[in-house]
């Protein structure tokens, strides 16, 4: 769980993983929509593009100063120097803005999973790939927790296309490893990446990033038979 900022993600697949040879065929990667029901991107007028950049730049500044869940739409409009009507016309709520900022970071990770070098990409054992996935997810949270808190908290997390992609990837690795119940295990593997959990570990318990990572890597190797 972000390039010039991208709002749209790629083609909508409701979180399904494409055929495993997709990266080798040269086809466009059908990944990513954090919100599958979002409208397709349209050609922007120059003034609309400027306002979008101003809004997203302002939002990132505000999110970075504290908990994104405490930032209001009025604060973003004021920081960006745009009217409330302009803001709401494009983004209905805080989550939509955070999602637009987070999109590209998650897109890059998904592309690395699909076609990057091992162990994160194809070519390593299921255990090695699952461990590398855990490392990458912790790094994503560490770098962009303020965005994830604004976009993927509570039940909203499960409605995102990104979660569907992570789940399908983990399930595939567990299946390849011979795990007894990949469907039953996949969400348990992903549970530590809920932003509230990571926030609790890092800021309340005071666990260092490397301790969280090492614990998850240890678990990954045991779950996937490494």
- Condensed to tens digits (0 to 9), the pLDDT of residues 148-183 reads 887 777 787 888 788 999 999 999 999 999 999 999
What integer pLDDT is reported at residue 23 of this predicted model? 34
State the pLDDT at residue 98.
84
Per CATH, the homologous superfamily of domain 22-223 is: Tetracycline Repressor, domain 2 (1.10.357.10)
pLDDT, one tens digit per residue, over 16-75 is 333 333 333 332 333 443 334 444 445 668 888 899 999 999 998 898 887 777 899 999
pLDDT in tens, 73-82: 999 999 999 9
Which are the contacts of 106, defined by CB distance < 8 A and separation ≥ 6? 1, 2, 32, 34, 140, 162
State pLDDT tens for residues 190-208.
Answer: 999 999 999 999 999 999 9
Task: For tokens 């959990």, name the residue.
Answer: 197
**Helix or strand holding residue 131 (H, E):** helix 126-151
140-150 pLDDT per residue, tens: 999 988 888 87
Q: What is the mean pLDDT of residues 90-95?
A: 89
**CA 21: distance to chain centroid?**
23
């Amino acid at each position: 769980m972000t390039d010039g900022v991208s709002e749209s993600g790629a083609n909508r697949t409701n979180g399904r993983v494409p055929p495993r040879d997709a990266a080798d065929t040269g086809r466009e990667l059908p990944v990513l929509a954090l919100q599958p029901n979002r409208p397709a991107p349209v050609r922007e007028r120059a003034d609309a593009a400027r306002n979008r950049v101003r809004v997203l730049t302002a939002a990132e500044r505000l999110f970075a100063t504290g908990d994104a869940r405490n930032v209001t739409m009025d604060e973003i409009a004021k920081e960006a120097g745009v009217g409330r009507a302009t803001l709401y016309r494009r983004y209905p709520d805080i989550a939509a803005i955070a999602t637009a900022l987070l999109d590209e970071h998650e897109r890059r990770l998904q592309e690395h999973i699909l076609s990057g070098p091992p162990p994160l990409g194809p070519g390593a054992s299921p255990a090695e790939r699952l461990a590398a996935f855990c490392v990458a997810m912790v790094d994503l949270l560490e770098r962009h927790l303020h965005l994830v808190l604004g976009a993927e908290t509570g039940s909203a997390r499960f409605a995102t296309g990104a979660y569907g992609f992570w789940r399908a990837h983990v399930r595939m690795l567990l299946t390849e490893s011979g795990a007894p119940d990949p469907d039953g295990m996949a969400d348990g593997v992903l549970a530590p990446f809920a932003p509230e959990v990571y926030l609790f570990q890092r800021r309340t318990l005071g666990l260092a990033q490397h301790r969280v990572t090492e614990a998850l890597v240890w678990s990954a190797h045991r779950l996937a038979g490494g």
